[in-house]
Amino acid sequence: MILLCAAFATNGGCGASNATGAGDETTLEETPAYPAVEDTEPLPVDPCDAYETRAAGVWNPQIRGNVDFSVKIYADEITAADAEWLATQMDRFTLAWVRLGRASCEAHFETGSLSQDDYAARVSCFDSALEHQRVVVSTLATSGRDAGNDMDDLFAKLAHCVPDEASPDLEIRTNPFKR
């Protein structure tokens, strides 16, 4: 390093004096100070939020519109009133699925009132019910056929996911809007 600096000294580098004998007084421009970036932890992810996300992947306004369009194409198979009834039932099923799944999740993760095994059994049951809903929605969207009986089956599957000893606000025993 000393040899390298000595080589530059003859050219005015490494702090060598200039021709006037004064020291090298190079001024550095100050760079603007950037705001300090705080090291923040990411917000905690609520595991129970997954229920809304998963349900929205099966039934959402766009899918509802696709089903409505399909029903109009196959109008001889299902009436407009029946189509609206089915869409309303899908809305209700989706809301119930999310509510029951979230409540079970919170009972496990937040209050500890639901064991890991019981929670895993419910999740499996909820997954099965959601997959059944996906099949019904697919059938409605591709054929427009009446799925009234399928709706009764969907609500029965969801009710099966919550055992009798569950709190009353979690229970769904039958579809309250049967035709």
Name the one residue in this structure whose structure tokens are 């229920």. 51
Name the one residue in this structure whose structure tokens are 């369009």. 69
And the tokens for 151? 């709706």
Task: Read off the pTM.
Answer: 0.67
Cα(155)–Cα(44) distance, rounded to whole angstroms? 33
- If one counts every other C-beta atom within 10 angstroms of the C-beta of residue 39, the result is 5
pLDDT grade, residue 129 (50/70/90)? very high
Cα(113)–Cα(93) distance, rounded to whole angstroms? 25
Name the one residue in this structure whose structure tokens are 């009234």. 148
pLDDT grade, residue 153 (50/70/90)? confident
What is the DSSP-derived secondary structure letter of residue 145?
-
Cα(67)–Cα(22) distance, rounded to whole angstroms? 86
Domain ranges in the chain are: 47-170
Please state, in angstroms and as integers, the Cα–Cα distance from residue 161 to each residue in 9, 103, 155, 156, following that order.
84, 12, 10, 9
pLDDT at 3: 43
pLDDT at 156: 84
Cα(128)–Cα(109) distance, rounded to whole angstroms? 21
- pLDDT surpasses 60 at 71: yes
- Helices (H) and strands (E) in the chain — how many of each? 6, 0
Residues, the chain: 179
Residue-wise pLDDT tens digits, 77-108: 677 777 788 888 899 999 999 999 999 999 99
